[in-house]
Amino acid sequence: MRTLAFLRKTFLENIREWKILVLTVTFAPFFVYLMYAYFSASAPAYRLLVINHDTAVPAEGRTALDGAGGLLAAWRAAAHMDGRAAFQVTTVSDEAEAIRQLRNRDADLLLVIPAGFSQRLADYRDRKAAAPARLTTHADEGNARALMAMAFSDVVAFGYVALVAQAPLPLELDIRRVGSGRVLTDFDLYVPALFVLALIMVMFTACASLIKEVDKGTMTRLMLSRLSVAELLTAVSVNQVLIGIATLALTFLAALSVGYRTDGSLVAVLVVGAVTTLGVVALSVIVAAFLRTIFELLTVGCFPFFILMFFSESMMPLPKVAVAHLAGHTLYVNDVLPTSLAVRAFGKILNHGAGLDGVAFELGIALLLTAIYYVAGAWLFARRHYRVR
């Protein structure tokens, strides 16, 4: 009964302090739209500038060969697996101006198609010449996009020339699918991390539920009511799991609204979400043990939040430093945080269609870590805030 009474109390206080609650539940959905806009704008087609000195050549008994025109069409038709155009092709005539654009990163590559390109292709096709056609590429080696653009454009050019010259390729590629078959964009791969970011935000409401009792001096009343630390943390944890699930649902709806789709199990998402929220609450108890006021939470408490956010890979990938291999799985340094395991679990469920059995290892390790952090947090909180002075 004491647990239920304190649960009701903390629930009503979270609603009363609606500003923190609104920040918690809307932070991750806002980032969904922000990251969607970022990925949509940060991965445009590679910008190719093309200087064409070639002219089409007639062929006896055949259609005139326009090698340069066909190559330009091949580049323009090239697309990523999700259907987006791979290149933005612009024909230019001033080589000096084109090189200036390369240096200023206004373009990624300059390709020069020389005079006689079509004739060389025709001769090579008809076995009248052994020398291949030549294509000149200008690239800024300091531009990573230029290197990717060059590799992609060269593949398209080789494929087009081999087709026109009727030249057999010296290598056959046998590509076998090992994934789900669904094309995943950069944004799709980032959504699991945004789910975990939504749950990390629960740290503020969880810490606030504990610290405000210390800040307002009502902790003594709770001790006089014989509410144990275990009962207090149980009530706070249940309340925060409800907030975490609500935040997760809003984040999921935000992702769906911008076109995200998944074949993953909703039940598995909810279970991983609940376990992750408990892990965040357990860490929040440890943080709350060292704070005394809401002001400290909003200043000093931001550091643990950023540690969770960055080292859980909720913002950017980290180097994989393996520390152990267990049951066919690899544990990394940052897996001491339950939220790091949650990113991988959500990725398996949302993007690869795994069920609870597919994330059993991550769930098991996360539950073990959560239990350890709860015990440590309860001891620290009781020692610093929940005893008669």
With cut-offs at 50, 70 and 90, classify the pLDDT of residue 257. Answer: very high
Q: How many CB atoms lie within 10 A of CB 235?
A: 22
Q: What is the pLDDT of residue 375?
A: 94
Cα–Cα distance measured from residue 374 to residue 353, given in angstroms and rounded to the nearest whole number: 31
Task: Specify which residues 48 forms β-bridges with.
Answer: 89, 109
Sequence-separated (6 or more) residues with CB below 8 Å from residue 381: 210, 229, 233, 285, 286, 288, 289
In this structure, what DSSP letter does residue 133 have? P
Predicted confidence (pLDDT) per residue in 154-174, tens digit: 888 888 888 887 777 677 777
Contact (Cβ atoms closer than 8 angstroms) between residue 345 and residue 363: yes
Residue 42 pLDDT greater than 70, yes or no: no
Residue 251 pLDDT greater than 90, yes or no: yes
Q: Please give the residue that has the higher pLDDT: either 76 or 178.
A: 76
Q: Is the pTM of this model over 0.85?
A: no
Query: Which residue, chain included where needed, has tokens 């073990």?
Result: 368
The residue-averaged pLDDT of 295-313 equals: 85
Q: What is the pLDDT of residue 83?
A: 74
Dihedral sign of CA atoms 111, 116, 122, 123 in order: negative
Q: What is the pLDDT of residue 325?
A: 87
**Percent of the chain predicted with pLDDT > 90:** 28
Q: What is the pLDDT of residue 63?
A: 64
Q: What is the pLDDT of residue 339?
A: 93
Size of the chain in residues = 389
Q: What is the pLDDT of residue 61?
A: 54
Query: Which residue, chain included where needed, has tokens 């180097």?
Result: 319
Cα–Cα distance measured from residue 311 to residue 99, given in angstroms and rounded to the nearest whole number: 41
Q: What is the mean pLDDT of the chain?
A: 84
Token pair for 249: 């649902």
Cα–Cα distance measured from residue 156 to residue 78, given in angstroms and rounded to the nearest whole number: 7
With cut-offs at 50, 70 and 90, classify the pLDDT of residue 179. Answer: low
Spatial CA neighbour of 90 closest among 67, 65, 108, 114: 108
257 φ/ψ angles, rounded to the nearest 5 degrees: -70, -20
Domains and CATH numbers, the chain: 2-39+181-385 (no CATH), 45-165 (3.40.1710.10)
The residue-averaged pLDDT of 277-290 equals: 93
Q: Out of 10-14, 128-132, 272-276, 382-386, which region has the weakest mean confidence (pLDDT)?
A: 128-132
With cut-offs at 50, 70 and 90, classify the pLDDT of residue 130. Answer: low
Cα–Cα distance measured from residue 212 to residue 320, given in angstroms and rounded to the nearest whole number: 39
The residue-averaged pLDDT of 366-377 equals: 94
With cut-offs at 50, 70 and 90, classify the pLDDT of residue 382. Answer: confident
Token pair for 234: 């149980």
Cα–Cα distance measured from residue 160 to residue 45, given in angstroms and rounded to the nearest whole number: 19
Predicted confidence (pLDDT) per residue in 181-219, tens digit: 666 777 888 899 999 999 999 998 888 888 888 877 777
Token pair for 10: 């903390």
Token pair for 74: 């091949």
